[in-house]
Structure 1
Amino acid sequence: MEEDNGAVIAGGVGAALGAAGGTAGVVGAISAAGSVTGLSAAGITSGLAAIGGGTMLGGIAVTVAAPATLAVVVGYGVYRLWRSH
């Protein structure tokens, strides 16, 4: 039982790190992707539109999904790795 608790904790830490890494990556992608670079209002708008295939709504959908997906993948991977030892 103690081993399983350690795996759950490790998975939670992995999920948090995956979400943080995904968020940092998304912020960098938004600031670099658009026709106006940076994190000003124009930079964010153009970055989201570039990521979303021409629409800000598409860019928002992609940038919200990326950190959540990384959190699940990294968290589950760490959990499974911890359980295998």
Structure 2
Amino acid sequence: MSDDKSALVAGVGSVVGAGGAVAAVSSAGVAGLGATGITSGLAAVGSVVGGSMAAGVCVTAAAPVAIGAAAYGIYKLLKR
């Protein structure tokens, strides 16, 4: 990342991805962000990829990284 704008774009993309991951976990299981809501939400997200709550943790942790990388790549592609 050679300029400040590309770092900003990647950072904003990661923040948006993190917000989306929290929203997905909150709405996928029992409503809310208490222990029951987080546990059931992670289990529901993990079941999409054929796993359990541990797979849900991996999916929700990877989402912000993937969205940030995609935002950075799109920015660099459009900057040309």
Whether these two folds match at TM > 0.5 is: yes
**Partner Cα distance (2:6, 2:74) in 1:** 8
Where relative contact order (Cα < 8 A, 6+ residues apart) is larger, the structure is 1
Identity %: 41
Count, aligned residues: 77
Alpha-carbon distance, 1:60 to partner: 0.3
Q: Which runs of 4+ in 1 moved over 2 A?
A: none
What is the alpha-carbon root mean square deviation over aligned residues?
1.6
Among 28, 35, 41, the alignment partner of 1:33 is 28
Q: Hey, what does 2:10 align to over in structure 1?
A: 15
Residues 32, 47 of structure 1: 8 Å contact kept: yes
Q: Normalising by structure 1, what TM-score?
A: 0.83
Structure of larger gyration radius: 1
**TM-score normalised by the chain length of structure 2:** 0.87
Query: Of residues 37, 46, 49 in structure 2, which corresponds to 1:43?
Result: 37
Helix, strand or coil at the partner of 1:52: helix
Unaligned runs of 5+ in 1: none
Amino acid in the other structure paired with 1:18: G
Structure 1 residue 77: Cα displacement: 1.3
Question: Which consecutive residues of structure 2, in runs of 5 or more, have no partner in the other structure?
Answer: none
The answer (yes or no) to whether the contact 1:17–1:71 under 8 Å persists in 2 is yes
Provide the C-alpha distance between the structure 1 equivalents of 2:57 and 2:36, rounded to a whole number of angstroms.
Answer: 15
